Chains A and B, each alone.
Chain A
Amino acid sequence: MLRASWLVFLKDVRMEFRGKEALNAAVAFALVVLVLFSFAFDPTSEQIHEISGGLLWILFAFSGVLLINRSFAREQSNDCMNILLSSRVPPSALLLGKAFANTLFILLVELVCLPVFSLFYNINLFALPGWLLLVCVLGTWAIAIIGTVFAAMTVNLRLRELMLPVIVYPMIIPALAAAIQLTTVIASGKTPVGDDLLWLRVLIGFDIVFTTLSIGLIDIVLVD
């Protein structure tokens, strides 16, 4: 199964890097929102330390859903979806492959946004690179796995672009809250200890529960 999902992952990544449509759009969108943030509050104040985590993760969630929306929509032309489903790739492998690809795309957006945010808002996010990477990967996976399942569900809907965020955002709130808390702690240069580790557990638990649930239920969502 992992081999099949690796193939799907490679296919998605290759397709995206050839056109770079969604990725360019997501990065541009993220940068525009970063500029907009500066009007929402005083960008030179100390307050930025307390809200940096929230701003960043709202940004990642927004541009993430933008990317994930393309994930299954990409397969609609030339009836690729049916061919994928009737190939020997099981639906769970398809889901995992696509979720991995989406995770990579969102991480790339984060790779652009984090330094830019650091620079423009005069805040050092990279004091603890290991922790930052861990939180980014776990949080991004939470967005990607739930987003990918729901993208598979909403791909044939008339209002796909609208429906996906409406159902994804309320469901990823625990993961987002945990990632926000941890990122805020990391942005202030402190190693997460004590109560903060609770949020790490929430994040890991969330990932495990929803990955299992998604793999278990995707067979019902994707049938040809």
Chain B
Amino acid sequence: MNDKLLLALGTASALFLVRNLYTMFLVLPDEAAQGAIYRIMFFHIPSWFTCFSCFFISGVISAYAIAKRNFKADSWSVSITEVGLAFTMIGLATGMIWAKVIWGIWWTWDPRLTWAFITALVYGGYLMMRNMIDDPSERLRLTGVLNVFAFVSVAITYKAIDWWRTQHPGPVLSFRTGGGNIDPAIESMIYQNWLALLMLAIVLVGLRFRQEETKREIEGLRRLAYAR
């Protein structure tokens, strides 16, 4: 991605976020049951959406990377995973702040919280392993396979939580419940903020991808220098 596109998207995302913040705090009223804290959901829910999307896309790209031995795809998949992990952390942090206010505790071993924690660990392991392999083609093969495993495992773990008793609030968005559980203005705000965060994620991925490509180029040059 070229500079101008990234800059334009970044600016657009920043303006969009400012506008969203204005609407959240000054236009939308407090929620009846939760008061002011419900506003954290405008970041909590969209960052989980962003994190799911990132891990899904990164898993698919990794599968492509190992099938075609494509280094560009490998760089994309690690960039996307890293950004996804950042949004996982945002999701965990915002969720914990909300839980402290509403439940009175920072953390509970509720299945969905547990799942989020496991996901962070799985992808943290993936990124750790990347740092330990020096040879680029070996790194592509091994961490590509690991990423595919990670996505499948995370998906199964997510399914398994449905069978545990859950304390996490159930779905409120209309595409899950059929509507009626949430004020349309609030719901649309969630989607709008998701769009803003998604734009931010794309900018971050673009920047990270460029770093990753440069890193691989430097590695190649270094090897060339040693070979001389």
Contact = CB atoms under 8 A, between A and B. Distances in A.
Contacts of B216: none
B86 interface: no
Interface residues of B, number: 25
Nearest to A206: B156
Interface of B: 66, 118, 121-122, 125-126, 128-129, 132-133, 138, 141-142, 144-146, 148-150, 152-153, 156-157, 160, 163
Identify whether the interface residues of A are mostly helix, strand, loop, or mixed: helix
Given A167-B146, A213-B152, A220-B141, A173 B157 contact: yes
Interface stretch (A59-67, A155-163, A186-194): A155-163
A156 B144 CA distance: 16
Nearest to B157: A174
B144 A220 contact: yes
Given A198-B163, A217-B148, A221-B142, 6 more contacts: A150-B146, A159-B132, A166-B125, A170-B122, A174-B157, A217-B149
B125 A167 contact: yes
Contacts of A213: 148-149, 152
Identify whether the interface residues of B are mostly helix, strand, loop, or mixed: helix
B159 to A, nearest CB: 8
Contacts of A206: 156
Interface residues of A, number: 30
A217 B150 contact: no
Which among A154, A157, A174 has the greatest number of chain B C-beta atoms within 10 A? A174
Contacts of B156: 174, 205-206, 209
B168 to A, nearest CB: 17
A217 B145 contact: yes
